[in-house]
Structure 1
Amino acid sequence: MGFLIETVFGGLMTGMLYSLIALGFVLIFKASGVFNFAQGAMVLFAALAMARFSEWIPKWLGFDNPVLANVLAFAAACAVMVAVAWAIERFVLGKLVNQEGITLLMATLGITYFLEGLGQTLFGSDIYKIDIGLPKDPLFLFEQTFEGGVLVNKEDLVAALIAAGLVALLALFFQKTATGRALRAVADDHQAAQSIGIPLSRIWIIVWSVAGFVALVAGIIWGSKLGVQFSLSLVALKALPVVILGGLTSVPGAIIGGLLIGVGEKVSEVYLGPLLGGGIEIWFAYVLALVFLLVRPQGLFGEKIIDRV
Structure 2
Amino acid sequence: MGFFLETLFGGLMAGMLYALIALGFVLIFKASGVFNFAQGAMVLFAALAMARFAEWWPRWLGFDSKLLANLLAFVTTMAVMVAVAWLIEKLVLGRLVNQDGITLLMATLGITYFLDGFGQTLFGSDIYKIDVGMPKDPLIVAEQTFEGGILLSQEDLIAALVAAALVALLALFFQKTSTGRALRAVADDHQAAQSIGIPLSRIWVIVWSVAGFVALVAGIIWGSKLGVQFSLSMVALKALPVVILGGLTSVPGAIVGGLLIGVGEKLSEVYLGPLLGGGIEIWFAYVLALLFLLVRPQGLFGEKIIDRV
Say yes or no: TM over 0.5. Answer: yes
Matches within 5 A, 1:55-94: 55-94=55-94
Q: Quote the offset at 1:10 in angstroms.
A: 0.2
Aligned to 1:143: 143
Q: Quote the offset at 1:240 in angstroms.
A: 0.1
CA distance in 2, matches of 1:191, 1:144: 62
**Alignment TM-score, normalising by the size of structure 1:** 1.00
Aligned to 1:38: 38
Amino acid at match of 1:213: F
Aligned to 1:302: 302
For structure 2, the residue ranges without an aligned partner over 5 or more in a row are: none
SS state at 2:139 partner: strand
Amino acid at match of 1:85: A
**Alignment TM-score, normalising by the size of structure 2:** 1.00
Matches within 5 A, 1:82-121: 82-121=82-121
Aligned to 1:260: 260
Amino acid at match of 2:127: I
SS state at 1:249 partner: coil
Which consecutive segments of 4 or more residues in structure 1 shift more than 3 A? none
Aligned to 1:248: 248
SS state at 1:111 partner: helix
Q: Quote the offset at 1:137 in angstroms.
A: 1.1
Aligned to 1:236: 236
Aligned to 1:158: 158
Aligned to 1:271: 271
Aligned to 1:179: 179
CA distance in 2, matches of 1:190, 1:101: 12
Q: Quote the offset at 1:189 in angstroms.
A: 1.0
Q: Cα deviation per residue 1:163-190 (whole Å; 9 max; x = unaligned)?
A: 0000000110111011101101111111
For structure 1, the residue ranges without an aligned partner over 5 or more in a row are: none
CA distance in 2, matches of 1:307, 1:16: 34
Report the count of equivalent residues: 309
Q: Cα deviation per residue 1:119-144 (whole Å; 9 max; x = unaligned)?
A: 11100000000000001111111111
| CA RMSD across the alignment | 0.4
CA distance in 1, matches of 2:143, 2:174: 40
Identity of aligned residues (%): 87
CA distance in 2, matches of 1:205, 1:129: 30
SS state at 1:152 partner: strand
Aligned to 2:133: 133
Aligned to 1:8: 8
CA distance in 2, matches of 1:270, 1:3: 10
CA distance in 2, matches of 1:243, 1:153: 26
Amino acid at match of 2:264: G
